[in-house]
Chain A
Amino acid sequence: MIDRFVDFLIARRVWVVLIVAVLTVLMSWSASRIDVRTVFEDLLPQDHPYVAVHEEFKETFGSSNMVSIMLTVDEGEIFQRPVLEQIRGVTRDLRAVTGVNSFQIISLASNHMKEVRATTAGIDTSPLMWPDLPETDRGIEELRDKVLGNNLVYGPYVSMDLQSALITVDFYDHLVDYTKIFDEIHEITEQAKQAGLEVSIVGDPILYGWVDHYLDETYLIAAVVILVLFALLFLITRTWRGTFLPMIAGGISATWALGVAAQVGLHFEPLVVVVALLLFARAISHSVQLITRFEDEHAGTAMASVEASRRTLKGLFRPGTLGLATDIGCVSVVALTPIPLLEKLVIIGVVWLSTIIVSALIVTPVLLSWCRDPHARVHGIDLDRPAHRVLDGAYHVVTTRGRYWLLGSVTVIFLVSGWYATNLQIGDANPGSPILWPDSEYNLNAARINETFPGSDRMFVVVSGEEDALKEPEVLEHMQDFQRFMEVQPQIGASMAITDLVPIVKRSLFEGNPRFQELGESAMMNGELMYLYQADAAPGDMERFVDGDYKNGAITLFFRDRQGDTIRTAVSRINEFVDSNPIDAVEYRLAGGVIGVLAAVNEVILAGQIQSIALALLVLVILCTAVYRSTMAGLFFMVPVVLANTLTFSFMAWREIGMNINTVPVAALGIGLGVDYALYVVDRIKEELGRGNDLLDAIKRSVHTAGKGVMITATTLIVAVLLWSFSSLKFQAEMGMLLALWLFVSAVTAIFVMPSLVYIFRPSFVLQSRSAGEKGESGEPAAAAV
């Protein structure tokens, strides 16, 4: 069947090329309009209970878009008029930023910051520094005293050393535009910088703003990577076809995939550029295999190019499609992790890999059929000989006892790396954002803010009950116990809830006597205390803590970092507390805010991890079993995949790259991508055996042809992806290294390990293609036939 299909394609080669060309032109128009941006909702596992709680309460209790701006004076305190003016200026100007939730701009200068004091008439809650700044030195001195005496301000919004003030601002999810927020906030804070203040800004919108900021650089590196690929292919293959055809294959696939993605309305995450490169590399690998085979068919014969192309296609269509099919199967498994980003990525990935069947497996040989002088070389630098020396080495290993050593060391490497891989962190492995370098402006800012203030990343836990439940002393005391319990964790800098407000109001009712700084003893008392506070509160003031009918209250926890361990510990401590302190009146609901959402993402990734790996391997086993009609084949091809995975996971554990929302796509796609090289090599051994060669000869030929193709692609791609190390985004640099490692391990396994495995274990699915008469062993006597 393959034969007829191939003949058909080669016979109508002009049509094939024309159709592909027209489609590519059409798709390129569509692909050029693809939207490159980060959409936060895509990162959220929508059916996770935490995310549901987050969605329900984010507008009042704090979304995941919170940005913290810290203004710091070099010397002295912030209580100087020019500094206070800057704090007020920034606070005021933030109201004009795109998508801002103007009820949730909080600082010393906002009307949320109040002093609660008792007067003869009752309680007076007056803003500390709103709408006007204190005019006189005495006024400033009074303000300073008020701040120092107010625990809701001194600590959370004014630093303990009085040198820094914090401004927090929240954004509506549906209006968030990271690039605009990034630019506008930097513009607003510019004047504070001019005034000599040190400005530090953190928050997810700013983080993704930085990613966007480096988008041009990302494109530049991608362009350089492609140029270098081009140059390396030219150097190594010494032919124009060897240089252009792989790039054409890669280009067609990319255009089609992005075109389809744009058509169905998917956008492209800037951080996922690395994944695109990974897929681009697949197309190149396949194309190079075909070209190598083509040259091999030509070798020493005067065969017409048309015939050579036909043979190439016939020979490689099976391993090529099988490789791509396993890739597609393994990639599809990723969609089981219910995160929209991953699901969308899977669609792009599947489309992309499918197009490689056309762009590389069909277009490359079809174009090769026009090749006029297959023996001509463009330049004189011959890297063939050193390459073949390496390949000879691979063959040598198979023929000597080296193969047992190799097998032994592979087993040891597998065991050791498999054990070490268990150190892999789920979630971020270090403080600061893993997307950026530790010394990047953003991470330095984050470290500074988290050192000065109780923590810039928040999680809110919702306490829900019947109407007025949040007035019950039992409930409030339970919440207080919860806060006390949670604050013990060192990474939690503070917590805040209605329980912190009520005692302050009560104390001021009792002449400011701190012996009465406690919750009311009845629900009615607590209700009155809250009412007193709320009486002249600004909109959004009370809503930060509790909703209008006192059904739902928030306990906000301030985190100093967002490492996977920190979040896991916090979540398990929350559950521990709720389990050991049962209460009927209310229910604790996890969890909103950026940390709540990350907790959900990490849990989903953790739960999905073993499942994805297992299912990906299953897909591989089933496909190989089906194609080679041997369960052994399935087992056999697991070797390179499992090895590549344990090694990469070990690498991630070693470099402290956590499994998070950004790395999961790369790691998950990689699961399926280790097998192609091995398929080409083993399939060629099988094919050579079918032509009547003995096993050793078959291995030798396979290593020098298919193996050579593997070597060419692996070397060029490794050098190219390592260029990502120069990226300003640490994430891309690390993913570059990860891909390089992947390619390296897959290539080495394909060239060195697989032939030895075939020789040692003589799997029947490879050997049965030997012509019936030649049952006798060839070469060395069988040492370990199974």
Chain B
Amino acid sequence: MPGVIKTLGGLIPWAVIGGLLFAAFFIQPQPVGETVQPPPIERRDRFYGLEVLEQGNVLWAAGSDGKIVRSDDAGETWQVQQSGTRLNLQSIAAWDPDRAVTVGNEGVVLVTEDGGQTWEQVEAPRSEIFNKLVRVIVRPDGEAWAVGGMSAVFRSRDYGRSWERTVDEEDISWNGIAFVDDDNAWAVGEFGMLLRTTDGGDTWVEEMLDLESSLMAVRFRDNGHGVAVGLEGTVLYTSNGGEDWARLETDFEAHLFDVTWNGSKWLAVGEDGVVVRGEDDGDSIWNADRLDPDLREWHTTVTANGDSVYVSGATFGRLTGTDWQSFTNQAGERP
């Protein structure tokens, strides 16, 4: 027995030496990093399109890299939705919190019927030459209109599931579309071009204004008063449903990309963090301001809901009065 212990005792040092040799030649520690969870809104995101529902509680944004985010608590928290595409989405519009449509580069059209749990890519007319849908709007009874490059003016009557071309293909980009009433609507586009329908969109007629700047957006309020905005500070005003468009005097030259009516004023956004406010009287001066004093980012969508105005683009936020609250800072920026 003591002999066994002695032998064992003699073995221990060799075991240790063996262990050391093994450690020296075979144990190669590997660098291990920590895991990092991406925030729902990242610094590189650009949300070209934005839809606001339910007094500002439901916010739905679509943008670069096929990214769609949604908040159901007025922007407190955000969920990223799986769009299934990596193409830049340019615009999003919703009939209700469940049903929505989004369009974008290469003519991509996605629809959802379950609040964005699943997005489905649907067929839309395509051009051989160039496809880019830049704006989509929704109308009652499942109607939707999408406009874009190569004279794309597409209509859907089944909540976005199928689309038809309503204007023949030619090399003009239409950037914005708005309805005055059920029959009358206008689309705006490159080089001051306008497109008009008087039969609910079955036929469209081009009109030219004496204008070189491209128009980017158009919007009507209920009484036939409307505004179209565009590059180099262009603002057009009509008080008769588009029969006459007058160019307003402005003291700014910033590109404007979208316009909305918030119930008491017109608001337009554009490059360099610009926000333009105007009265609905057709002759008082429109004033340019900045969403935030040092904000110089561009914005492509502005929409009013409840007491606030929501703006998206290179940054993304809510303007209440003159108080700008950025969702980008809140969710994406570093502390």
Contacts and interface: CB of A to CB of B under 8 A. Distances in A.
Interface of A: 145, 148-149, 154, 160-162, 426, 477, 480-481, 483-485, 487-490, 493-494, 511-515, 517-518, 565, 568-573, 602-603, 606-607, 609-611, 613-615, 617-618, 621-622, 625, 631-632, 634-635, 638, 786
A149 B21 contact: no
B236 to A, nearest CB: 17
Nearest to A512: B255
A518 B64 contact: yes
Contacts of B65: 480-481, 484
Nearest to A565: B34
Contact of B31 (A149, A517, A606, A625): A606
Contact of B20 (A511, A568, A614): A614
Contact of B36 (A490, A518, A613): A490
B306 interface: no
Contact of A488 (B17, B29, B36): B36
Contacts of A148: 272-273, 294, 296
B23 A483 contact: no
B28 interface: yes
Contacts of B10: 631-632
B54 interface: no
A135 to B, nearest CB: 22
Contacts of B25: 611
B86 A515 contact: no
Contacts of B13: 621, 625, 631-632, 634-635
B24 A511 contact: no
Contacts of B255: 511-513
B313 interface: yes
Contacts of B36: 488-490, 569, 573
14 contacts: A149-B272, A154-B296, A490-B334, A511-B231, A513-B231, A515-B134, A573-B33, A610-B27, A611-B24, A614-B20, A614-B21, A621-B13, A621-B20, A622-B17
Given A603-B31, A606-B29, A635-B13, A512 B88 contact: no
A494 B334 CA distance: 11
A606 B28 CA distance: 8
Nearest to A426: B31
Contacts of A493: 334
A493 B335 CA distance: 11
A614 B9 contact: no
Given A565-B34, A635-B16, A515 B44 contact: no
B42 interface: yes
A351 to B, nearest CB: 25
Contacts of B132: 515
A621 B21 CA distance: 11
A634 B16 CA distance: 10
Contacts of A638: 16
B44 A614 contact: no
Contacts of B303: none
B271 A514 contact: yes
Q: Among the interface residues B13, B17, B48, B90, which one has the most CB atoms of the partner chain A within 10 A?
A: B13
Interface of B: 5, 9-10, 12-14, 16-17, 20-21, 23-25, 27-29, 31-34, 36-39, 42-44, 46, 48, 64-65, 86, 88, 90, 105, 132, 134, 214, 216, 231, 255, 257, 271-273, 294, 296, 298, 300, 313-314, 334-335
Nearest to A516: B132
A615 B23 CA distance: 9
A484 to B, nearest CB: 5
B46 A618 contact: no
Contacts of A622: 17
B14 A631 contact: yes
Contacts of A489: 36
Given A518-B88, A635-B12, A610 B44 contact: no
Nearest to A606: B29
Contacts of A635: 12-13, 16
A147 to B, nearest CB: 8
Nearest to A489: B36
Given A488-B42, A514-B298, A613-B23, 5 more contacts: A148-B294, A513-B257, A611-B24, A614-B21, A786-B9
A662 to B, nearest CB: 19
Contacts of A631: 10, 13-14, 17
A328 to B, nearest CB: 18
What 10 A-B pairs are tightest by C-beta distance, nearest first? A572-B33, A569-B33, A148-B296, A631-B13, A614-B24, A614-B23, A488-B38, A614-B20, A635-B13, A514-B298
A618 B257 CA distance: 73
B46 A517 contact: yes
Q: Among the interface residues A511, A514, A786, which one has the most CB atoms of the partner chain B within 10 A?
A: A514
A480 B231 CA distance: 29
Chain A, interface SS category: helix
Contact of B44 (A484, A565, A602, A617): A484
A573 B20 CA distance: 32
Contacts of A511: 214, 231, 255
Given A149-B271, A618-B21, A634-B13, A568 B42 contact: no
A621 B64 contact: no
A94 to B, nearest CB: 28
Contacts of B86: 477
Contacts of B37: 488
Contacts of A615: 20, 24
Contacts of A618: 17, 20-21, 24
Contact of B296 (A149, A483, A568, A625): A149
B42 A484 contact: yes
A159 B20 CA distance: 53
A634 B37 CA distance: 50
B93 to A, nearest CB: 16
Contacts of A569: 33-34, 36
Contacts of A481: 65
Nearest to A635: B13
Contacts of B335: 490
Contact of B300 (A149, A494, A515, A613): A515
B334 A515 contact: no
Contacts of B33: 565, 568-573
Contacts of B134: 515
A602 B30 CA distance: 11
Contacts of B5: 786
A621 B12 CA distance: 12
Nearest to A573: B33
A202 B44 CA distance: 28
Contacts of B16: 621, 634-635, 638
A487 B33 CA distance: 15
Nearest to B271: A512
Contacts of B273: 148
B334 A610 contact: no
Nearest to A490: B334
Nearest to B5: A786
Contacts of A487: 42-44
A322 to B, nearest CB: 17
A514 B48 CA distance: 9
Nearest to A493: B334
Given A477-B86, A625-B13, A632-B13, A607 B28 contact: yes
Given A490-B334, A610-B24, A617-B20, A514 B9 contact: no
A113 to B, nearest CB: 16
Contacts of A632: 9-10, 13
A512 B231 contact: yes
Contacts of A517: 46
A582 to B, nearest CB: 16
Contacts of B334: 490, 493
Contacts of B88: 518
Contacts of B105: 518
A569 B31 CA distance: 8
A607 B272 contact: no
Given A148-B272, A635-B16, A515 B48 contact: yes
